[in-house]
Amino acid sequence: MKVLLIGANGGVGQHIVPLLQNSTDHSVRAMVRKEEQAEKLRDNGIEAVVASLEGTVDEIIEAGKDCDAFIFSAGSGGSTGEDKTLLVDLDGAGKSIEAAEKLGIKRFVMVSALQAHHRENWNGNLLPYYVAKHYADKVLESSSLNYTIVRPGGLLNDAGTGKVKVSENLERGSIPREDVAKTVVTAITEEATFKRGFDLVSGDQDVSEALRSL
């Protein structure tokens, strides 16, 4: 599959890019916000397009032409205000879902957040973030797309172990961004993840084995 990676310059996205680039099953088109980010990717032999999640749906449609799947791994980041969380994590996701539907793309993998589907378990300091993730996931679930929603725990910069734990509901935990990326890429074609959402933390199962067990 040719995959449009939305949020290719993000913490998880930067790990997804090489996995797709080096895959024998997939190829990647990296979507970023700035031309200098795109140029850096192109210098490394990666196809890149510039488009803003705060722009129009048509902008994302143009970025996703000829692709077979979307991965949404974008986020406004911890240094921005609640307005950017609303515009990027929620509305940007909604626009991406709409763009995929208009393009006739069926496969869509969303990077969400642990327990985003259960309000009672949200961290009080991150309420706007969880609200945005919750409703972005709801939009995806109600779409016509063949979706997978990956809800990782606390994100770490540690080296990945390739060992994870997945379930519809998990207690709080953490996971290296590298392992989230591997899970997301593996999920693209793993039928056990189709039309499913799941929590994800570090564990003791290989990624492929864990996803097949869902």
* Catalytic residue ranges: 129
- Residue 44 to residue 49: CA distance in whole angstroms: 14
Enumerate residues 6+ apart whose C-beta is below 8 A from 142. Answer: none
How much helix, strand and coil, in percent to the nearest 5, is found in the chain?
40, 25, 35
Report the run of H or E that residue 5 belongs to, with start and end: strand 2-6
Helices (H), 74-206: 82-84, 93-103, 127-141, 177-187
- Residue 131 to residue 137: CA distance in whole angstroms: 10
- Residue 23: exposed, middle, or buried by beta-carbon count in 10 A (0-12, 13-18, 19+)? middle
Q: In the block, which residue shows the tokens 């995929």?
A: 100
Pairing label, strands 69-72, 47-50: unpaired
